[in-house]
Chain A
Amino acid sequence: MSATADTPRPVEARSAGRFLFIAAIVLICAWVLVPIYLLLVNTLSSPSQVSAFPKTGLPGWDFGSIQFFMGFAGVLRALWNSLLVAVLTMILSIGIGAPAGYALSRFDFPGKEAFRMLVVMTRAFPLPLLALPLAVLFIRTGLDDTAIGLATVHTVLAIPFAVLITFSLFSGIPLELEEAAWTLGCNRLQAFVKVVLPLVLPGIAASAVFAFTISWNEVFAAAVLTIENRTLPAFLVQSLNVSPLHLKFAGGAAMVIPALVFIFAVRKYLFAMWGIANR
């Protein structure tokens, strides 16, 4: 709706309102973007420029900080671990969550509500705390300090979203399409692969990226469950009080830049997933 009232207002008042509206948008965009810009300024400056004072607010176009970060002991390995855990989380949460989402959207069966409750309940608990008791379980089973162990905890974080998003995706595909495929001689699996899957694949990809982001950003469980095989957030948080400023800022940028790309990739689906998550 536009901001028109039923009584016509004077032109100046309306254009003043318009100006305020646009000013508010510009102001909020600046509030979001300027801090990211400042982080990038620090990342693109040499270590001595980072601790210099006062700052100009312009990058020094020096890759000294980035070189120092990449060469710092354990950083490359932490980046690799982060990537590995995030990919495993992505595969696990979609592999486990998507079938559940499909079942919830296509079938009515006893126990459906109980399962929905279980999924919704996971969102009402401080999940990273799971890492505390699981640390013991993992030591007993040899999963401690492994990528797959951490990925399972991240999957618990990502599964509610995977289930709810895939549920809304499958609900958006009319059952008639599948039924038409059955009457044309497909069995259930063929109908799914040939008719439903191509239609939902972009959405599945988006929820996979979302799972990746959850894992990429998670700090607490990662710091509790890994010692040698730290992920990037775990590495950064545990070296916060000993690492120099330029290392922190370059590390921060290494976490922020992929996140910008991820959000851009899934922007169309953000609202679909939260719209359904409300119900």
Chain B
Amino acid sequence: MPAKVLPYLLLLPATLFLLVFFVYPFVQIAWLSVSGPNGFSLQPLTTMATHWKFQSALGWTLLLAAVVVPLQLVMALSMASIVTKLERGRNAVLYIFSIPLGLSDLAAGIVWLAIFEQSGFLNSMLAGLGVIDRPILFLGYQNIWVIFLAVVLAELWRATAIVMVILVSGMGLIPKEYYEAGEVFGANAWQRFVKITLPMLRPSLQSALILRTLAAFEVFAVVTALGGTTLPVLMGETFQWQFALQDRNVASAYAMVILAISILATLFFLRVLRVPKGATI
């Protein structure tokens, strides 16, 4: 077989597959969001934007991402620094730290439901300490901020591992000589972290933040498991419009909103954390 054709033959299945199941549906979804029964129409977008739940769904989703992602970054940086410093027991610690990586958001929601539900472990602990007499209904509709807190905890618990794994592999790429040079010039551990680790970690930080922020915009099953529909989020509303309200056009309009904020976030991180040309390791 001529060597010129071979690479294209090998790429053909993947390209065709992505065209049919990735590019085509996206064109479709974009069209659905701006069409009605008689062709082009802005009806889905206006229906979505004027629906009373839209603004709160958008607001809660953005707020969740704004709270969860920075906390995750700090936690993941600490965890990654610990793992890089470890000599003995590194593999065991690393395995435990990365366990949540394999868990689904639904499972994470159910795990934290066991803690926050009315007869759950948080209430049991508080009663055991004598703080409360009877169990509190934490996840009721009048306690929307407690639901928010539970979702934040569940997201921190589940999705910090992926950031950590990306940062650990990024830290492994930083040459030891830089740290040795830093020590020679008298930089302490914190200064070395700020002046060497953080700038050198920029590509990893960038991909970790993009990946996590986009996933945070897609938050769905955690919220459903912990708060039902009390705490509206964009993905949950998409699901509602698709099923309960049977309007695929409005569901697609929601999808386009998620897509739009995803693209904005990606561009933001690409710009803020851009790696200067020729400055790769």
Given contacts A115-B15, A129-B255, A130-B25, contact A263 B111 (CB under 8 A): no
Proximity bits, B71-96, A CB within 8 Å = 1, else 0: 00000001100101111000101111
Contact B98 A263 (CB under 8 A): yes
State whether the Cβ of B272 lies closer than 8 Å to any Cβ in chain A: no
CB distance from A164 to the nearest CB of B (A): 11
The secondary-structure label for the interface of chain A is: helix
A126 adjacent to B218 (CB under 8 Å): yes
- Find out whether the CB atom of A275 lies under 8 angstroms from the CB atom of B173: yes
- Quick check: A122 and B119 within 8 Å, CB to CB? no
CA distance A128 to B220 in the complex (A): 11
Residues of A within 8 A of B86 (CB): 25
Identify which of B87, B107, B157 contacts A252 (C-beta below 8 A).
B107
Show 30 A/B contacts (Cβ-Cβ < 8 Å), sorted by A. Answer: A5-B188, A24-B82, A25-B86, A36-B99, A39-B110, A53-B123, A55-B120, A103-B6, A103-B8, A109-B4, A124-B263, A124-B266, A127-B22, A128-B218, A132-B248, A133-B24, A137-B24, A217-B106, A220-B235, A237-B221, A237-B224, A237-B225, A241-B228, A245-B119, A248-B110, A249-B113, A259-B104, A263-B101, A267-B95, A270-B101
Contacts A1-B179, A6-B183, A132-B29 given; 6 further ones with Cβ under 8 A? A32-B161, A122-B22, A130-B22, A249-B114, A274-B166, A278-B203
**Interchain Cβ contacts within 8 Å, total number:** 281
Q: DSSP class of B's interface residues: helix, strand, loop or mixed?
A: helix
Stretch from A72-80, A150-158, A171-179, A197-205 that touches the partner: A150-158
Q: Which 6 A-B pairs have the closest CB atoms?
A: A217-B104, A252-B110, A133-B28, A275-B169, A259-B102, A103-B10
Give the distance in Å from the alpha carbon of A236 to the alpha carbon of B165 in the complex.
Answer: 29
B-side contacts of A220, CB under 8 Å: 218, 220-221, 235, 239
A15 to chain B, nearest CB (A): 16
Chain B residues positioned under 8 Å from A213 (CB to CB): 102
A91-124 interface bits toward B, Cβ cutoff 8 Å, 1 = contact, 0 = none: 0000111011011001101011001001100111
**Residues of A contacting B148 in the complex (Cβ-Cβ under 8 angstroms):** none
Known contacts: A126-B255, A240-B228. The answer to whether A260 contacts B102 by CB under 8 A is yes
